[in-house]
Amino acid sequence: MKELNVKRNSFIVLFLTCLLLFLILRKDFKEVIEDLINTNYLLLFVAIIVYFISYICDALSYYFIVKQYQNDYTIPKALRLNILTHFFNGITPLASGGQPMQLYVLHKDKVKLSDASTCVIQFYMVYQIALMLVGAICLAYSIPLGFIESSPLAFYMYIIGFVINVAILFFLIFVSFNKKFNKAVVNFVINVLAKIRVVKDVSGTKAKWNDNCDGFYESGQLMKKNKKILLRCVLLQVIQVLLLFSIPYFVCLATGVKHNLTILSSVAISSFITICSCYFPIPGATGGIEYGFVSFFGRFIVSSIRVVLIIWRFITYILPVIIGGIVFNIREKN
């Protein structure tokens, strides 16, 4: 990881956050500050605790996956891995930095590079399975209640995000269990790219990607063999997602704003926001997340939605980035 890129991306995140806060607060600054001052900090602490329990569930799923390859892997290592994953997801466009960081950290923790690659694939697949399960249930729950009518554009964004995520998940599952097809597709693509002179070292590129295909296949076979671990990790991720998506409800309780939100509707709406903004090409999906929050939650939060948005965003995004930045800098110094 290049230090310059980390600092540059962190600055971009800080700048975008400050710009967004300015746009949010410029009209109702005094009102928002008063709402923040009058917040019930005990209930706010409950919201933070809920977030950190979801964080632990996420880390435990990492722990059980890596434990298959390294018997002496520990929960503190999994917690640190999760913290750094959230940090690099938060400061890179499309959350593209998390997976390379996972490889880097696992390799530093003495996990073989081939095993680390397989772990990263499993992390992604387990999370996607959990997210799509929750997302599908939330969609079925929400349509009869008319949640989506308040923002048709945001709903279309959700459908596009859902279809893309499901397509990627099914593709990964398919290639993980069909090595011959996987290699045939890879070799075909490399040959096409070689003809248009995008790829120069054809044999080297094929060897590299065929190794990756073997990694996908090995990952699939291991998941097939260790079904109990797979189910345990999916369950942990489902719990993690449900807890994370319930946080707006607890923030509403803490701020005392007028609302008709329930935990179920909070989970459903948060799933919409997460899925429809996952391909917004700005670090932290800044802008897309906030638009989705106001569009979907605006129907349920009658007053002071801005203060709920600010606190929710701080707990679920800004705070993890701050903690991750501290952990990353301590790690690099050591």
Global confidence as pTM = 0.83
Spatial distance between the Cα atoms of 52 and 63, rounded to a whole number of angstroms? 16
Tokens 């919409």 label which residue? 272
What average pLDDT score do residues 187-210 get?
A: 77
Domain boundaries, given as residue ranges, for the chain: 3-333
pLDDT in tens, 230-243: 899 999 999 999 99
For residue 7, what pLDDT band results from cuts at 50, 70 and 90? low
Are 191 and 202 contacting, i.e. CB atoms less than 8 angstroms apart? yes
Q: Is 26 exposed, middle or buried (0-12, 13-18, 19+ CB in 10 A)?
A: exposed
**With contact defined as beta carbons under 8 Å apart, do 173 and 216 qualify?**
no
Residue 82 or 100, more confident = 82
Mean per-residue pLDDT, 161-189: 77
pLDDT band at 299 (very low <50, low <70, confident <90, very high): confident
More reliable by pLDDT, 292 or 104: 104
C-alpha span between 39 and 252 (Å, rounded): 10
Average pLDDT, the chain: 81
Among the listed residues 326, 327, 331, 324, the one whose alpha carbon sits nearest the alpha carbon of residue 95: 324
User: Would you place residue 285 in the very low, low, confident or very high pLDDT band (cuts 50, 70, 90)?
Assistant: low
**126-130, 300-304, 316-320, 321-325 — which is least confidently predicted?**
300-304
**What would the pLDDT profile of 269-281 be if each residue is shown by its tens digit?**
899 888 877 767 6
Higher pLDDT, 248 or 296: 248
Q: Which pair of structure tokens corresponds to residue 29?
A: 């600054």
Q: What is the pLDDT of residues 50-90, one digit of tens each?
A: 999 999 999 999 999 999 889 999 999 999 999 999 988 88
Give yes or no for residue 4 having a pLDDT over 50.
no
Beta-ladder partners of 259: 301
For the chain, what percentages of helix, strand and coil (3-state, to nearest 5) are there? 85, 0, 15
More confident residue, 252 or 183: 252
Burial of residue 207, with CB atoms counted within 10 A of its CB: 0-12 exposed, 13-18 middle, 19 or more buried = exposed
Q: What is the pLDDT of residue 81?
A: 94
Distance CA(156)–CA(52), nearest Å, equals 31
Q: Return the higher-pLDDT residue of 200 and 284.
A: 200
Of the candidate ranges 7-16, 49-58, 206-215, 288-297, the one whose mean pLDDT is the lowest: 7-16
Q: Are 320 and 10 in contact (CB under 8 A)?
A: no
Distance of CA 220 to the CA centre of its chain: 22
Q: What is the DSSP letter of 301?
A: B
